[in-house]
Structure 1
Amino acid sequence: MNDVTPAPLLCIGSVLWDVIGHAPQPMRPGADVPGHIRRLPGGVALNIARGLAGRGLHPTLLSAVGRDAEGDELIAACAALGLITDHIHRPADLPTDVYMAIEDSAGLIAAIAAAHTLEAAGARILAPLTDGPLGRPEAPFAGLVALDGNLTEDLLGEIAGSPAFALADLRVAPASPGKALRLRPFLGHARATLYVNLEEAGLLCDRSFAESRTAAAALHDRGGARVLVTDGPRAATVAASEGLISLTPPTVTIRRVTGAGDTFMASHIAAELVGAAEAESLACALEAAAKFVSGESDP
């Protein structure tokens, strides 16, 4: 790796409370089983920022968090993790968002994301970047921006075409398959890297894929300047102008899944910011995600 100074970092999207229930055995619909329930700071943008902070970086969060007790507690928790929260939009009339998920030994059973405050805030979360301390029209932000698909489709479309992001290194994740189509404005965007799983790649290409290599190639052909496609324990692929690189993640026992994609993305970004090559960055990201799902490490 090269000894380089990391660029400024923004993580834009969901910052909320995760409530995760995990059962150590397989579950069926309607099952009522013993397990563990955790409440912890979460959201895609926050998870990515926490992963970056854990690697010695200093990301700034742009999001919306209510001025309620839950929001005050969440802001304090983010600050304790080393995240910069000074520019988070804090509406007084909206509650702090929540994500709730149920997992079993095989992975995610179901989840509900209540990101209504983030969606209602809309472009107000970008004010520090478009006309404030982080950027202005005459001096757009020139660092790395991690975006998540919890932003509305309209706002993501605005960002894709906005001069405020013209110099940014955009890293975009859909947050869930149900929000994958929100990434369409970034197909054809020369400065965007898309992080998707196999199902999300299929939705963006309007077809199904059996493995990541074919999916990444198809998404690249659709205009994705640079694409990373993961497929759980199977090979992941990065597609760019230089070609395709596929690597298989380490084999581990799955103990949790919520946040694995965010961990993958944060580790990949961190590796690249210190000069790692394409294959090395992908390997670092796969190893970090494997340690996370096994319970061996935090994000």
Structure 2
Amino acid sequence: MTISPNILCIGSVLWDVIGRSATEMRQGQDMPGRIERLPGGVAMNIAVTLGRFGMTPSVLTAIGHDAEGDELLAACAGLGVDTRHVYRSHDLPTDRYLAVEGANGLIAAIADAHSLEAAGINILHPLIEGPLGSHDSPYEGPIALDGNLTVSLLEEIATHAAFARADLRVAPASPGKADRLLPFLRHPRAVLYVNLEEAGILCRTTFDNAADAAQALLRHGAARALVTDGGRSACDASAEGVVVAAPPAVHVSRVTGAGDTFMAAHMAAETRGAAREQALDRALAAAAAYVSGAKPQ
């Protein structure tokens, strides 16, 4: 890829191994279904969706110097994702994610992002002291940042001079990692993308709806928060006001990656100048199409 990227996606790029059954499942069941392996990870899912919306994404991540890593880089290139700034280590294997989904949603998942965590600040060198930016000349474009990074690295990013002018959009990788976003809860430029459960974890409570959750995040110091709630209404809240919208009703055939699709579609819409109402509607429509199993356009 020779075109300069216009958005950075920082976080996990790995192999997703996902088993899906068309019937409802519960713990311990052995059911027929399909198993597939495909490029995934929060940063990767966001980057791929951004590319489908006409943007040019580049990923900052760690990928092993192994056969799986070589195959993953080739797959990224085929999907239009720039990997020229990826950190590769001979000592770290390529990360993986394993999930089982039934007709009733996600049953269980394990994210093995240990290599990304071990790589630490090495993945940021192109942005800190390289071709993308530096302390003295910070990157000024949009950044999608995911919570698969360690708490210490996220804390460093929140205050690092190289990120001082960036449009930071931040999402946890899962509810289990939601509290890693705490360094950005009072960040003056960060936009948080969370689901209802993740909002509750950040606020140390539970919520009945996305609007209550988004406004609570503002009270806890967030500059702006977008909260989704599956097939129920989502909310975009900031000092400029509160916007609530409901997603289209669809049959759910997959769930892994839905939040990433929402975030990417929302970022792409706002980058193109869409108003907050329009951006939220477009993001919800994109996420609904994704969970329905519709093929990407």
For the aligned pair, the TM-score class normalised by the smaller chain equals over 0.9
Q: SS state of the match for residue 11, structure 1?
A: strand
Residue 167 of structure 2 corresponds to which residue in structure 1? 169
Q: Which residue of 1 aligns with 2:233?
A: 235
Secondary structure at the counterpart of residue 147 of structure 1: strand
The answer as to 2:134 corresponding to 1:136 is yes
Q: Tell me the residue number matched to 2:82.
A: 84
1:28, 1:13 → 2: CA distance?
31
Measured in 1, the distance between the counterparts of 2:26 and 2:184 equals 37
Q: CA deviation at 1:187?
A: 1.2
SS in 2 for 1:27: coil
The match for 2:177 is: 179
The 2-side partners of 1:121 and 1:204 are apart by: 26
Q: Distance in 2 between matches of 1:24 and 1:68?
A: 34
**Identity level (%):** 61
What do the CA deviations read for 1:29-76 (whole angstroms, capped 9, x no partner)? 110110011100000000000000111111111000000000000001
Secondary structure at the aligned position of 1:18 is classed as strand
Aligned to 2:124: 126
Structure 1, unpaired ranges of 5+: 1-5
- Whether the 8 Å contact between 1:8 and 1:143 is mirrored in structure 2 is yes
Q: Letter of the 2:189 partner, please give it.
A: R
Contact 2:11 2:61 (8 Å CA) reproduced: yes
Alignment match, 1:223? 221
The correspondence for 1:17, drawn from 15, 18, 23, is 15
1-side partners of 2:101 and 2:152: how far apart?
A: 31
Shift of 1:7: 8.5
* Aligned-pair Cα RMSD in Å: 1.1
| Deviations 1:128-157, CA, capped at 9 Å, x for gaps | 000011101110100000000000011000
Alignment counterpart, residue 37 of structure 2, candidates 36, 39, 45: 39
Displacement, 1:243? 1.2
Letter in 1 for 2:14: L
Given candidates 146, 149, 154, the residue that maps to 1:148 is 146
Structure 2, unaligned runs of 5 or more: none
**Higher-RCO chain (CA-CA 8 Å, sequence separation at least 6):** 1
Q: How far is the alpha carbon of 1:242 from its aligned partner?
A: 1.0
Please give the alpha-carbon distance, in whole angstroms, between the structure 1 residues aligned to 2:61 and 2:152. 16
Amino acid at match of 1:169: D
- Normalized against structure 2, the TM-score is what? 0.98
- Contact in 1 for aligned 2:6/2:55 (Cα 8 Å): no
Show CA shifts across 1:68-110 (max 9, x none).
0000000010011111100000001111000000000011000
- Which of 48, 55, 58 aligns to 2:56? It is 58
Give me the TM-score of the superposition, normalised by structure 1: 0.97
Structure 1 stretch displaced more, 6-15 or 25-34: 6-15
Mapped contact 2:5–2:58 kept (Cα < 8 A)? no
Write the letter of the residue equivalent to 1:250.
P
Letter in 1 for 2:62: A
Q: Is 1:7–1:273's contact at 8 Å kept on the other side of the alignment? A: no
Report Cα offsets for 1:191-248 as digits up to 9, x if no partner: 1000000000000000000100100000011111010000000000000111111101
Per-residue CA deviation, residues 4-24 of structure 1 (Å, 9 max, x unaligned), is xx9821000000000000010
Q: Structure 1 stretches (4+) deviating beyond 2 angstroms?
A: none
For residues 167 and 93 of structure 1, the distance between their equivalents in structure 2, rounded to whole angstroms, comes to: 34
Which residue in 2 is equivalent to 1:3?
Answer: none
- Aligned partner letter, 1:216: A
Out of 276, 281, 291, the position equivalent to 1:283 is 281
- Equivalent residues in 2 for 1:248-287 (5 A)? 248-287=246-285
Report the counterpart of residue 245 of structure 1 in structure 2.
243
**Code of the aligned partner of 1:194:** L
